[in-house]
């Protein structure tokens, strides 16, 4: 007689029903791989009276204690979302010796350390592959596949909604507001798109990747975040002319002076593999000292892709239960938290500005940059529809945040500068 592992499911939304679907479809495969059968005993929902297509053997409950205190339940699969209330529930479950699989990036980015501590005390597993980049097994790849290497940089397209919006803007020449509306109508973007378009969702994922990749503790507050609301079609066109694509990229870098983690619209060389990651797809580019460049590409969200990652985690927990090795997967960060200062954070920059067309104008501008030791890789000057005006697009060589901000401040004081329209980070080509 085979073992049976009993699961309590928190949440029956899109991902929750995907988990049930995969467990049903792949029961035999899972049994073959793990030597265990899996059964879902109870599901936490907010409204138990709503009709649902579920096997009759599954209990529906709106009281989480029915699950966290049920001694028959071995593993909790959390796909309900939320932060504080969900944390309370999971901590209680862990206190009661239950292993946890979660897809909740907000929770892990914010309270991961506390959850891991509780798990270690209680010999419990905590897996969260689905919290970053949906169906892409990026957490495993960093933890196991690249375990022998020192990761120096990660660049991720880790938010599908913004990548969809920016792909449409670039390919169809439609402006941000129109594409956002279309994405909302199609269900690709939330009614309140703030967490996506302002970069917060991507920042949570980069927090998690940075903790794992660099083996250091980080918080969401450590991530510099800029969203995509201010990207114009002009910038996309100009970037193309300069040989770049604009993507919302999470960038985490680790060198002698420390770590910087940011999420911001960035110019990437058109031939960079991340530049061809389009629509709602995600990808994470990982640089390691020894391995060089690797990339992991796939669907970043969606019912079944996300559920695939959740059930892969569940399979890992099943194996650990069978082998008696639960609670051993977590490794404390090896290094202390070490963030770069503004003078240590360096990158190339793209700046676009409107200027008055008069003698000595370009020299006024370049002398400000020169004062801070900033030199240029590319400069384009262009006429506008006003006779006395020109538009300037400049790509600098590497410059510190601090110096660039000073130069920007000085530019704003110049009477020949009418407007600074946009500033983006530039990756590659150095």
> Catalytic positions, please?
205
Contact at 8 Å (CB) between 236 and 248? no
Contact at 8 Å (CB) between 322 and 191? no
CA distance linking residue 340 with residue 346, whole number of Å: 10
Of 305, 355, 392, 417, which lies in the binding site for a second copy, with binding defined by CB under 8 A?
Answer: 305
Binding of a second copy by 302 (CB under 8 A): yes
Given the complex with a second copy, which of 38 and 228 has the nearer CB atom? 38
Given the complex with a second copy, which of 313 and 401 has the nearer CB atom? 313
Given the complex with a second copy, which of 241 and 279 has the nearer CB atom? 279
Of 72, 175, 241, 293, which lies in the binding site for a second copy, with binding defined by CB under 8 A?
Answer: 293
Given the complex with a second copy, which of 318 and 353 has the nearer CB atom? 318
Short-list 105, 73, 330, CA closest to 196: 105
CA distance linking residue 320 with residue 326, whole number of Å: 5
Binding of a second copy by 174 (CB under 8 A): no
Alpha-carbon torsion (404, 407, 413, 415), positive or negative: negative
Binding of a second copy by 237 (CB under 8 A): no
Binding of a second copy by 265 (CB under 8 A): no
Given the complex with a second copy, which of 275 and 422 has the nearer CB atom? 275
Kindly state the smallest distance separating residue 174's Cβ from a second copy, in Å: 20
**Measuring CA to CA, how many Å separate 222 from each of 6, 71, 95, 206, 218?**
38, 39, 30, 10, 6
CB atoms within 10 A of CB 218: 25
Kindly state the smallest distance separating residue 161's Cβ from a second copy, in Å: 17
Of 87, 220, 295, 362, which lies in the binding site for a second copy, with binding defined by CB under 8 A?
Answer: 295
Beta-carbon contacts of residue 206 (< 8 Å; ≥ 6 apart):
154, 156, 158, 223, 250, 251, 252, 261, 262, 263
Kindly state the smallest distance separating residue 147's Cβ from a second copy, in Å: 5
Binding of a second copy by 328 (CB under 8 A): yes
Show contacts with a second copy in window 72-131 (CB under 8 A).
Answer: 129
CA distance linking residue 249 with residue 263, whole number of Å: 6
Inter-axis angle of helices 303-323 and 14-25, to 10 degrees?
60
Beta-carbon contacts of residue 141 (< 8 Å; ≥ 6 apart):
286, 294, 296
Of 108, 158, 316, 355, which lies in the binding site for a second copy, with binding defined by CB under 8 A?
Answer: 316
Of 170, 189, 239, 314, which lies in the binding site for a second copy, with binding defined by CB under 8 A?
Answer: 314
Beta-carbon contacts of residue 102 (< 8 Å; ≥ 6 apart):
77, 78, 79, 90, 108, 126, 127, 128, 130, 131
Of 206, 288, 391, 422, which lies in the binding site for a second copy, with binding defined by CB under 8 A?
Answer: 288
Kindly state the smallest distance separating residue 10's Cβ from a second copy, in Å: 18
Of 91, 169, 249, 315, which lies in the binding site for a second copy, with binding defined by CB under 8 A?
Answer: 315
Please give the residue ranges that form the binding site for a second copy (CB under 8 A).
18, 22, 25-26, 28-30, 32-33, 129, 135-137, 140-141, 144-150, 215, 271, 273, 276, 288-299, 302, 304-305, 307-312, 314-316, 319, 323, 325, 328, 331, 334
């Amino acid at each position: 007689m085979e073992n049976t592992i009993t699961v309590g499911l928190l949440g029956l939304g899109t991902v929750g029903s995907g988990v049930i679907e995969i467990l049903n479809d792949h029961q035999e495969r899972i049994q073959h791989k793990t030597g265990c059968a899996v059964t879902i005993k109870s599901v936490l929902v907010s409204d138990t009276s709503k009709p649902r297509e579920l096997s009759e053997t599954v209990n529906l409950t709106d009281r989480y204690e029915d699950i966290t205190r049920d001694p028959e339940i071995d593993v909790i699969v959390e796909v309900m979302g939320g932060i504080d209330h969900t944390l309370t529930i999971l901590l209680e479950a862990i206190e009661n010796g239950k292993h946890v699989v979660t897809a909740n990036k907000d929770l892990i980015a914010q309270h991961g350390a506390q959850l891991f501590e509780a798990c270690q005390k209680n010999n419990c597993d905590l897996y969260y592959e689905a919290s970053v980049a949906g169906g892409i097994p990026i957490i495993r790849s960093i933890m196991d596949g690249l375990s022998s290497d020192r990761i120096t940089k990660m660049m991720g397209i880790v938010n599908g909604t913004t990548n969809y919006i920016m792909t449409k803007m670039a390919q169809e020449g439609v402006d941000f507001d129109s594409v956002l509306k279309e994405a909302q109508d199609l269900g690709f973007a939330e009614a309140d798109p703030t967490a996506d378009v302002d970069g917060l969702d991507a920042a949570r994922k980069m927090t998690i990747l940075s903790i794992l990749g660099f083996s250091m503790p980080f918080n969401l507050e450590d991530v510099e975040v800029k969203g995509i609301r201010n990207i114009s079609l002009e910038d996309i066109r100009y970037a193309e002319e300069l040989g770049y694509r604009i993507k919302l990229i999470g960038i985490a870098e680790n060198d002698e002076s420390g770590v910087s983690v940011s999420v911001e619209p960035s110019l990437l060389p058109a031939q960079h593999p991340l530049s061809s990651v389009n629509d709602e797809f995600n990808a994470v580019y990982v640089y390691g000292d020894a391995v060089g460049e690797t990339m992991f590409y796939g669907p970043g969200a969606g019912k079944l892709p996300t559920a695939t990652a959740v059930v892969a985690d569940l399979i890992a927990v099943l194996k650990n239960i069978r082998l008696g090795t639960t609670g051993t997967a977590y490794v404390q960060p090896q290094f202390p938290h070490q963030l770069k200062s503004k003078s240590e954070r360096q990158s190339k920059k793209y700046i676009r500005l409107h200027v008055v067309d008069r003698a000595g104008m370009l020299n006024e501008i370049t002398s400000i940059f020169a004062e801070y030791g900033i030199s240029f890789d590319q400069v384009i000057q262009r006429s506008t529809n006003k006779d006395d005006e020109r538009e300037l697009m400049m790509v600098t060589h590497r410059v510190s945040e601090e110096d660039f901000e000073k130069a920007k401040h000085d530019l704003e004081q110049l009477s020949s500068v009418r407007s600074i329209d946009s500033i983006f980070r530039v990756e590659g080509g150095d």
